[in-house]
Amino acid sequence: MESTKILLDENEMPKKWYNILADLPTPLAPPLNPATNEPIGPEDLAAIFPMELIKQEMSPEQYIDIPEEVRDIYRLWRPSPVYRAHRLEKALGTPAKIYYKYEGVSPAGSHKPNTSIPQAYYNMKEGVERITTETGAGQWGSALSLACNYFDMECKVYMVRSSFKQKPYRKSLINLWGATVVPSPSPDTQFGRKILEEFPDTSGSLGIAISEAIEDAALHDNTKYSLGSVLNHVMLHQTVIGLETQKQLEKVDEYPDVVIGCCGGGSNLAGLSFPYLKDKINGKKDVEVIAVEPSACPTLTKGKYEYDFGDTAEMTPLLKMYTLGHAFVPPAIHAGGLRYHGDSPIISNLYADGLITAEAYHQIEIFEAAVTFARSEGIVPAPESAHAIKSAIEHALKCKQSGEEKTILFGLSGHGHFDMASYDKYFSKELSNE
Amino acid sequence: MESTKILLDENEMPKKWYNILADLPTPLAPPLNPATNEPIGPEDLAAIFPMELIKQEMSPEQYIDIPEEVRDIYRLWRPSPVYRAHRLEKALGTPAKIYYKYEGVSPAGSHKPNTSIPQAYYNMKEGVERITTETGAGQWGSALSLACNYFDMECKVYMVRSSFKQKPYRKSLINLWGATVVPSPSPDTQFGRKILEEFPDTSGSLGIAISEAIEDAALHDNTKYSLGSVLNHVMLHQTVIGLETQKQLEKVDEYPDVVIGCCGGGSNLAGLSFPYLKDKINGKKDVEVIAVEPSACPTLTKGKYEYDFGDTAEMTPLLKMYTLGHAFVPPAIHAGGLRYHGDSPIISNLYADGLITAEAYHQIEIFEAAVTFARSEGIVPAPESAHAIKSAIEHALKCKQSGEEKTILFGLSGHGHFDMASYDKYFSKELSNE
């Protein structure tokens, strides 16, 4: 049998991140100051972000060095493995070759530490002592908690209330790494208190939690805010995924025909696909890049491409992105990490230019795909990651019909060890599609 | 910085298991038929085990081939990584070098699939269609469920009641891989009903669950029983851990002074240490091998070395082992996998011969060590595995006092993603030492 895992040595881990801003066919629409409708400058962001991240947010450089201190921590789990899904292929009876890059090997169980580590690092270098953030499913909150722990910083996490209830053990994980976590909306901020008063039964949303975390950072000394997706510097840090994957697939002489990732804010898809999109933009290779989202929060497939706020309280700059509107509160589906009303401006730009396509699936078929995967490959996927699995299965089954031997690559962004309550609901038929 | 992870290619994975029976200085005392006090023969075990496993149980061969079909599944996660614990060393300020072999990378999250896969395989080869077993913490039950799924067999798991309540998500995992799980004692067996009648509030024990699983196998067609620890063939299969580790440490020119493993039935410790004990028995190398157990279930440190039953209902052959008595019901501590009243006969033999030493620790200091580890290395350890961490920390701190630069190797047998409720109790100071 051909090799199951394709591994890299630590010394093959990328030394630079890839910045797709340098290669976009259509320049990125700038973030706007909502008061003036003028593009914002670095100084407008300095209240909540450290200067190095602001520079990266706007950098025209094609490659940006990964600091040695960040690489030292990456090495605790990176390079992450690429698997050939032999058993899934066999279960489907497809002539397609299916590969997946597995980010669940990080201590937090997802791709999120790829950016939480450098974000905490740059904050620490600039003397910041405390970081606030929001989290949906808890993957980002636990990843930032882990990162702050490594650099001996305080961390406060505002966790979307529906996930806080559904995933109590992600909360425990945040505590284990020494951070503080509260359900959002919370009584700890002015905006949280306002929402609680108006909508005491709200299940919360990422937009609300972002507003709370920003308000907290703005009002406390030596405190900055950190975002786990959407922004350019987050996409940048995640490209370590795709850069590694390219090296790994080169070792087995493969180049994917299709690259698939689940897409909430977009960082997981960006991380895997941007190095491949570089080749596509340059005309070097043709590759189909697919963003997969829940039908319950269909940002790309049903949203509008326009300037909108990143948060519910309208505290952020205006970002040009596919959006369902910043007041949108999605149903409390179990893929809590894919419930954001908007999408990364870069992902939105690429989608508008036709360089990325999008698909949406319902919750129940997502869990069906997750079970098929767990029963063939063994690994229990996070419900978010199962969106990519579902799409990969669909494309592999199309190959079965057409006889095409396509090479399909998908991102398995995290494991589902903290999502077993959702699996229980799927098995007991308590899940709905909305 | 020196390398953090030491990896092997799939083609470096061992092709044979190491059978320490061939090298024991004192021959193993045979299992006895309780009715006659005579050694039992292969035919006495044939009702509940397939013949190939019975042969392995009694084999005098020093090395036994790993079937290709088993290696194909091992390759989904093996070879597993060895880590140099740079950050833990730094946190402790020790001159010792600490390495750990991490078995949490298996889909079930522990070392248990190393034996569940071959056990299911040999059963399948002999036409068995259904396997029964017991499980403590749920790690073994989920591992056997995973294995039966790969070979398309039915699986029924009797799970110790205290763990069934404490660890609901290991139960979900068992369901996800398609097996059936019930709390033990259960109304599904004659022995379970008897215990439930006499002790309706019992927290259960591995001894009781074993009795139920054996009764079920004996009374159903085409059904065999499978044990996750204690027996010789289980120790054999686990040696893949230590054989890999030896190759990995050779790559960095290291040979451990101390090898540490947590010890319930003993398979995790056996797997890591037996290839090293071979060198010790042969006089090739000196190495200290340490079994770490909970003070609440101190089999080696306080048990007696004598013939005893493996289960509560006295259905098994008599095994010569360190035992607390087969009626012993340990407190419901959170390291559910270390609550067995006895110990592997091979481990017991080696301990009696002074080739292994033993240490016992209380629950609260175990969780303290687990948190120290999670906050330095990132990985969340299972409470069972944290026993090895505690001992490794103690030995590293002794090196700090003495200035010795010992090389300490411990087995991190599994992750704690399904044990977060126990961590919550530790943090809220609800844990006791008994």
Total length of chain B: 434
Phi-psi region of B200 (alpha: psi -120 to 50; beta: other; left: phi over 0): alpha
**In-domain check, residue A120:** yes
**In-domain check, residue A154:** yes
- Judged against a pLDDT cut of 80, whether residue A332 lies above it is answered with no
Q: Indicate if B149 and B181 belong to the same structural domain.
A: yes
What is the predicted pLDDT for the residue at B16? 98
For the record, the structure tokens of A142 come out as 């636990």
Q: What's the one-letter identity of residue B45?
A: L
Query: How far is B145 from B384, CA to CA, in rounded Å?
Result: 20
Residue A379 sits at the chain B interface (C-beta within 8 Å): yes
Q: Tell me the shortest Cα–Cα distance from A298 to chain B, in angstroms.
A: 28
**In-domain check, residue A434:** no
Residue A251 sits at the chain B interface (C-beta within 8 Å): no
Query: How far is B69 from B71, CA to CA, in rounded Å?
Result: 5
Query: How far is B361 from B409, CA to CA, in rounded Å?
Result: 18
Domain closes at, from A211, A232, A253: A232
- A421 vs B contacts (CB less than 8 Å): 169, 172
Q: Indicate if A305 and A390 belong to the same structural domain.
A: yes
For the record, the structure tokens of A422 come out as 């959702």
What is the predicted pLDDT for the residue at A237? 98
- Judged against a pLDDT cut of 60, whether residue A100 lies above it is answered with yes
- Centre a 10 Å sphere on the Cβ of residue A93 and count the other Cβ atoms it contains: 9
Asked whether the beta carbons of residue A378 and residue B146 sit closer than 8 angstroms, the reply is yes
What is the separation of C-alpha B57 from the centre of its chain, rounded to a whole number of angstroms?
17
Asked whether the beta carbons of residue A4 and residue B75 sit closer than 8 angstroms, the reply is yes
CB pairs under 8 A between A and B: 112
Q: Which of B339, B394, B372 is nearest to B139 (CA)?
A: B339
What is the predicted pLDDT for the residue at B254? 97
What is the predicted pLDDT for the residue at B434? 61
Q: Indicate if A130 and A217 belong to the same structural domain.
A: yes
**In-domain check, residue A37:** no
- Judged against a pLDDT cut of 80, whether residue A239 lies above it is answered with yes
H-state helical runs in A239-339? 240-251, 267-281, 299-302
Q: Indicate if A21 and A150 belong to the same structural domain.
A: yes
**In-domain check, residue B148:** yes
Asked whether the beta carbons of residue A377 and residue B176 sit closer than 8 angstroms, the reply is no
**Based on C-alpha coordinates, what's the Rg of chain B?**
20
- A173 vs B contacts (CB less than 8 Å): 380, 420
Q: Indicate if B203 and B306 belong to the same structural domain.
A: no
Q: What's the one-letter identity of residue B423?
A: Y
Three-state SS string over A107-156 comes to: CCCECCHHHHHHHHHHHHHCCCCEEEEEECCCHHHHHHHHHHHHCCCEEE
Asked whether the beta carbons of residue B175 and residue A3 sit closer than 8 angstroms, the reply is no
Q: Which of A235, A293, A212, A291 is nearest to A114 (CA)?
A: A235
The interface residues of chain B toward chain A in range 112-141, judged by CB-CB distance below 8 A, are: none
Asked whether the beta carbons of residue A75 and residue B4 sit closer than 8 angstroms, the reply is yes
- Centre a 10 Å sphere on the Cβ of residue B301 and count the other Cβ atoms it contains: 16
Query: At A336, which CATH number?
Result: 3.40.50.1100
Query: How far is A423 from A308, CA to CA, in rounded Å?
Result: 35
**In-domain check, residue A421:** yes
What is the predicted pLDDT for the residue at A434? 61
Q: Which of B200, B182, B188 is nearest to B134 (CA)?
A: B182
Asked whether the beta carbons of residue A150 and residue B421 sit closer than 8 angstroms, the reply is no
Note whether B409 and B83 are within 8 A (CB).
no
What is the separation of C-alpha A355 from the centre of its chain, rounded to a whole number of angstroms?
19
Beta strands in A2-45 (DSSP E): 5-6, 16-18
Q: For an interface test with A, which of B1, B105, B155, B169 has the most A Cβ atoms less than 10 Å from its Cβ?
A: B169
**In-domain check, residue B32:** no
Q: Which of A211, A109, A216 is nearest to A167 (CA)?
A: A109
Domains: count for chain A: 2
Beta strands in B60-148 (DSSP E): 63-65, 82-84, 97-102, 130-135
Q: Indicate if B270 and B351 belong to the same structural domain.
A: yes
Q: Indicate if A78 and A117 belong to the same structural domain.
A: no
- Of the candidates A5, A371, A420, the beta carbon closest to that of B169 is on A420
**Helix (H) / strand (E) containing A320:** strand A318-323
**In-domain check, residue A40:** no
Q: What's the one-letter identity of residue A63?
A: Y
Query: How far is B235 from B56, CA to CA, in rounded Å?
Result: 10
- A423 vs B contacts (CB less than 8 Å): 172, 175-176
What is the predicted pLDDT for the residue at A1? 57
With b for 16 or more beta-carbon neighbours within 10 A and e for fewer, the A299-338 pattern comes to bbbebebebbbbbbbebbbbbbbbbbebebbbebbbbbbb
- B143 vs A contacts (CB less than 8 Å): none
Q: Indicate if B203 and B246 belong to the same structural domain.
A: no
- Centre a 10 Å sphere on the Cβ of residue A165 and count the other Cβ atoms it contains: 15
Query: How far is A142 from A175, CA to CA, in rounded Å?
Result: 8
Which residue of chain A comes nearest to B69, CA vs CA? A1
Q: Tell me the shortest Cα–Cα distance from A188 to chain B, in angstroms.
A: 22
Query: How far is B203 from A308, CA to CA, in rounded Å?
Result: 56
Note whether B289 and B277 are within 8 A (CB).
yes
**Helix (H) / strand (E) containing B306:** strand B304-309
Q: Tell me the shortest Cα–Cα distance from A355 to chain B, in angstroms.
A: 33
Domain closes at, from A200, A232, A264: A232
- Of the candidates B10, B150, B427, the beta carbon closest to that of A5 is on B10
Q: Indicate if B327 and B362 belong to the same structural domain.
A: yes
Query: How far is B151 from B354, CA to CA, in rounded Å?
Result: 41
The interface residues of chain A toward chain B in range 172-201, judged by CB-CB distance below 8 A, are: 172-173, 175-178
- Give A224 or A334, the one with higher predicted confidence: A224
Asked whether the beta carbons of residue A173 and residue B420 sit closer than 8 angstroms, the reply is yes
Query: How far is B115 from B113, CA to CA, in rounded Å?
Result: 5
Taking only the tens place, the pLDDT of each residue in A158-198 is: 999 988 887 788 899 999 999 999 999 999 999 999 999 99
Note whether A112 and A139 are within 8 A (CB).
yes
3-state SS class at B80: coil
**Full residue range of the structural domain in which residue B186 is found:** 16-27+46-64+112-232
Asked whether the beta carbons of residue B378 and residue A172 sit closer than 8 angstroms, the reply is no
* Residues of chain B with confidence (pLDDT) below 50: none
User: In DSSP terms, which residues pair with B292 in a beta bridge?
Assistant: B262, B359
Q: Range with the lowest mean pLDDT among A112-121, A198-207, A399-408, B23-32?
A: A198-207
Domain closes at, from A201, A232, A263: A232
Query: How far is B97 from B139, CA to CA, in rounded Å?
Result: 29
Phi-psi region of A235 (alpha: psi -120 to 50; beta: other; left: phi over 0): alpha
- Centre a 10 Å sphere on the Cβ of residue A196 and count the other Cβ atoms it contains: 17
- Judged against a pLDDT cut of 60, whether residue A404 lies above it is answered with yes
pTM equals: 0.96
**Helix (H) / strand (E) containing B91:** helix B86-92
Query: How far is A330 from A336, CA to CA, in rounded Å?
Result: 10
Asked whether the beta carbons of residue A10 and residue B10 sit closer than 8 angstroms, the reply is no
For the record, the structure tokens of B380 come out as 């969340």
Query: How far is B385 from B364, CA to CA, in rounded Å?
Result: 14
Q: Which of A384, A374, A382 is nearest to A269 (CA)?
A: A384
- Of the candidates A146, A177, A420, the beta carbon closest to that of B172 is on A420
Q: Indicate if B395 and B253 belong to the same structural domain.
A: yes
Residue B72 sits at the chain A interface (C-beta within 8 Å): yes
Which residue of chain A comes nearest to B424, CA vs CA? A172
Q: Indicate if B255 and B213 belong to the same structural domain.
A: no
CA distances from A129 to A133, A149, A272 (A): 14, 11, 31
For the record, the structure tokens of B100 come out as 């750990």
Q: Indicate if B57 and B171 belong to the same structural domain.
A: yes
What is the predicted pLDDT for the residue at B404? 97
